[in-house]
Amino acid sequence: MKNTSCLTVLAVLLVFPVLIHAQSLRVAQLENQLISASGPTRAQVMISLSEAYFEEGQAEKAEDMAEDAADFSKKIKQPALRAIALNREGKAMVAQGKRKAAGRFEESLEILNRTNGADKGLMLDNLQRMRGLALASGRQKELLAIDERIAYLSGNGPSTPPAAPEMPVTRMELRQELLSLKKELATKSGSLAQNEAKLMEQSQRLQAELEAREAQISKMSAEQVRTEMMYMQQRMMLDSVLYLASMDSMAVSNAQLALGEANAHRNALLMGIIGALILAGGALFSYFKARQSARLLAEKNNVIRQEQERSENLLLNILPSLVANELKQKGRTDARFFEDVSVLFADFVGFSGIAEKVSPQQLVSELDACFQAFDEIIARYGLEKIKTIGDCYMCAGGVPDDQPEHLKKMVLAAREMQQWLFDWNETRVKQGLPRYDARIGIHRGPVVAGVVGSKKFAFDIWGDTVNIAARIEQAGEGGKINMSGDAYAVLQHDFSCQYRGKIPVKNRGEIDMYYVLN
């Protein structure tokens, strides 16, 4: 038994990190999906990400993500997704002990009722969450109403839906109650005024009786007068006692009214202070929430901007800027005809022999060094690299942008490429390494240019001009620049050239060729 318990604990310890890693991997996958998602799919991914945060124990992040999902669902008019997002936000708030969680479940339930949602499971989950909160707060009346709604949805209650539970007393109801108290106070003040009027009337009546008595006294004998005076004194003493008792009672009533008014004023002031504190707390919470949302939005926008810049840089590394812009705007590119384009081919002499003497890693490294130097040279002259095939390097001028004197720039770039190879080879020879001597061929003429492929875009050019340029490169020698007669006709006044005569070219007959002299 003890061995079994040990094995169980060991299995838990081994599986728990795997589960945590799997959960973290799921969060990372959902965050990556959220970058490119849009529409209802984006709202669903946000809800799933909120659930993943909640399962990881990050309740605050789960609440923020669920709130963003609810707002986004409302923006794209998806009430069903908004109801789910509000439910997840309420769960995250309950996990943090926040008091307004019941409002999220109630709002989710109202959306489902309003849209005649068929998701009874979500409705029951909202009611169960509200029941737990009502039970924890001791709100028995609200608890009974929620139980009736749960019984109705479960099919165990009445055939008609019960009314929703009463919500807590609002500020407007408190104001109405305060107005009714003030009216009652005014009524009591009016009754006091009536009592004072009655006392005044009674005093006037007693004065009239006293005057009548004095008239009778004048007609009485001395003994009668004395008897009457004693009676009058006793009557006056009794009236005085009654009057003082009435005055005391009125003073007590006034004191009670003043105390009630002071209590009402104190309660109103206390309610005002509490309301002001609630408003201030809400404003402060909204401020920090807005700052947090702004920070998260800025971080997301920064990530999106970085991804956009990276994608654009990658696209510009593959395609010319003009073609890349057309591809982004139209989603495709149209092939174009260019009447005058210069084409250069460069190929290394004896490359197969070099490949046999060095390791594959060294061969690729040396070839990469050459092609990087060629890239920098043609970039300075505004030429466009087309592609590399093995040890063959191809570039063009005048495409896709029409450049003045692109053929002259092509010859200048070819001379710099040969000069760079000459300097590089001198260092390599001293180190006992093989030489890289390149044949370079240049031709000019019309081509068709465009983008091919749907998965891996490639900008390329086609036509007889390209084929002839390749044949001219093959007819050259290592370390020299071989140029066609068509190119020489344009550049004969710009460079010193050596005429080689008519050289036979495969499938093209004989072509005039010239070596460019340094």
pLDDT 10s digits, 266-276: 888 888 889 88
C-alpha torsion 312→314→320→326, nearest 10:
-40
Q: Map tokens 């004969």 to a residue.
A: 492
**Whole-number Å distance between alpha carbons of 34 and 44:** 9
Tokens representing residue 346 in the block: 């460069």
> Cα angle vertex 281, ends 275, 282, to 5°?
90
Would you say residue 354 lies in a domain?
yes
Whole domain around residue 465: which residue ranges? 331-516
pTM: predicted TM-score of the whole model, two decimal places: 0.43
**Are residues 248 and 341 both part of a single domain?**
no
**Whole-number Å distance between alpha carbons of 478 and 455:** 37
**Are residues 362 and 409 both part of a single domain?**
yes
Whether 284 contacts 292, CB under 8 Å = no
Would you say residue 26 lies in a domain?
yes
Would you say residue 484 lies in a domain?
yes
Looking up residue 349, the CATH number of its domain turns out to be 3.30.70.1230
For 432-446, b/e burial (b = at least 16 CB within 10 A) is eebbbbbbbbbbbbe
Secondary structure (DSSP) of 390-423: TTEEEEEESSSS--TTHHHHHHHHHHHHHHHHHH
Would you say residue 165 lies in a domain?
no
**Are residues 187 and 146 both part of a single domain?**
no
Query: Per DSSP, what are the bridge partners of residue 452?
Result: 458
Last residue of a domain, one of 154, 183, 208: 154
Question: Phi/psi of residue 348, each to 5°?
Answer: -85, 135
**Are residues 407 and 465 both part of a single domain?**
yes
Tokens representing residue 439 in the block: 């044949």
**Helical ranges in 56-170 per DSSP H:** 59-75, 79-95, 101-114, 120-137, 140-154
Would you say residue 160 lies in a domain?
no
**Are residues 228 and 259 both part of a single domain?**
yes
DSSP state of 78: -
9-37 pLDDT per residue, tens? 454 444 445 455 566 788 889 889 888 88
Helix (H, G, I), strand (E, B) or coil at 127: helix
Tokens representing residue 64 in the block: 């923020």
**Whole-number Å distance between alpha carbons of 310 and 306:** 6
Would you say residue 289 lies in a domain?
no
Whether 106 contacts 166, CB under 8 Å = no
**Whole-number Å distance between alpha carbons of 516 and 442:** 10
Last residue of a domain, one of 232, 257, 272: 272
**Are residues 504 and 448 both part of a single domain?**
yes
pLDDT at 439: 97
Helix (H, G, I), strand (E, B) or coil at 492: coil
- Reply yes or no on whether the pLDDT at 171 is more than 50: no
**Whole-number Å distance between alpha carbons of 405 and 490:** 10
98-107 pLDDT per residue, tens? 878 888 999 9
Q: Could you tell me which residue, 307 or 428, shows the higher pLDDT?
A: 428
Looking up residue 116, the CATH number of its domain turns out to be 1.25.40.10
Tokens representing residue 104 in the block: 């999220």
Secondary structure (DSSP) of 337-365: EEEEEEEEEEEETTHHHHHHHS-HHHHHH
**Are residues 149 and 187 both part of a single domain?**
no
Query: Per DSSP, what are the bridge partners of residue 348?
Result: 438
53-70 pLDDT per residue, tens? 999 989 999 999 999 999
**Are residues 65 and 120 both part of a single domain?**
yes
What is the tally of structural domains in the chain? 3
Burial class (CB within 10 angstroms; exposed 0-12, middle 13-18, buried 19+) of 95: middle
Q: Give the distance from CA 507 to its chain's centroid.
A: 62
- Reply yes or no on whether the pLDDT at 286 is more than 90: no
The most confident of the ranges 90-94, 110-114, 435-439 is 435-439
Average pLDDT over residues 47-56: 92
Last residue of a domain, one of 272, 295, 314: 272
**Whole-number Å distance between alpha carbons of 440 and 498:** 15
- Reply yes or no on whether the pLDDT at 108 is more than 60: yes
Would you say residue 386 lies in a domain?
yes
Tokens representing residue 250 in the block: 């009125």
**Are residues 261 and 181 both part of a single domain?**
yes
**Are residues 384 and 466 both part of a single domain?**
yes
**Are residues 346 and 491 both part of a single domain?**
yes
Tell me the pLDDT of the chain averaged across its residues.
Answer: 82
**Are residues 353 and 267 both part of a single domain?**
no
